[in-house]
Chain A
Amino acid sequence: DTGVSQNPRHKITKRGQNVTFRCDPISEHNRLYWYRQTLGQGPEFLTYFQNEAQLEKSRLLSDRFSAERPKGSFSTLEIQRTEQGDSAMYLCASNKDSTEAFFGQGTRLTVV
């Protein structure tokens, strides 16, 4: 399977715990995006990387959220001190240069 891969697919955590998600993009793709989606809404942009550089971060993104792409390949998204409002589907997408983006299966986070 050469598509975008996200792990885990599902995560249930207690409020206040930290969680980390991983995204492996399509191998030749230099751009990687993180989105969050809640029920009935479109994907909401969080941040994006070109290679290892984080080029844009949403103003709406709390400082509890941090993302890395240390070697320009896979990326991690960490949420510290999770809150119930963080419950959502976290989507990763990748593309090469300015082409269309392809999404992974997503990680569904439930904060209890």
Chain B
Amino acid sequence: QKEVEQNSGPLSVPEGAIASLNCTYSDRGSQSFFWYRQYSGKSPELIMFIYSNGDKEDGRFTAQLNKASQYVSLLIRDSQPSDSATYLCAVKNYGQNFVFGPGTRLSVLP
């Protein structure tokens, strides 16, 4: 079992819709969770992080964490074509190393 799993996609949503991206992780000791966006040929850029169970909102983005289910998600409201990218879920454990999932490709259709 891979440590961090994501559906590779592509996930296609129409402009203005809500995009829902999911991530599961295997290490119950994981402490913090991150979402990065990566455009083709570019390096990952941080969108947001979450440490506690529940929801965390930042503009059009909401991260949701459920440690009991070992599940973290990212919701993007009012999706725009500029949101089309690969979204990487990363998990950090006590070892202080960031473990990344394979990423989900999101395509927002005009």
Report A's interface with B, CB cutoff 8 A.
31, 33, 35, 40-45, 48, 50, 55-56, 89, 91, 93, 98, 100-106
Contact = CB atoms under 8 A, between A and B. Distances in A.
Nearest to A42: B100
A48 B97 contact: yes
Contact of A43 (B6, B44, B46): B44
A100 B96 contact: no
A98 B94 CA distance: 10
Interface in B86-102: 88, 92, 95-102
Given A42-B103, A43-B88, A91-B43, 5 more contacts: A45-B97, A45-B99, A100-B49, A101-B46, A103-B36
A44 B102 CA distance: 9
Given A42-B103, A45-B99, A98 B44 contact: no
A48 B96 contact: yes
B25 interface: no
Contact of B96 (A41, A91, A98): A98
Contacts of A89: 43
B32 interface: yes
Interface string B29-42: 00010101000001
B46 A42 contact: no
Nearest to A31: B96
A21 to B, nearest CB: 13
A100 B100 contact: no
B9 to A, nearest CB: 11
Interface in B32-80: 32, 34, 36, 42-46, 49
A55 B96 contact: yes
Given A42-B100, A43-B88, A55-B96, A100 B34 contact: yes
B19 to A, nearest CB: 18
A42 B102 contact: yes
B92 A98 contact: yes
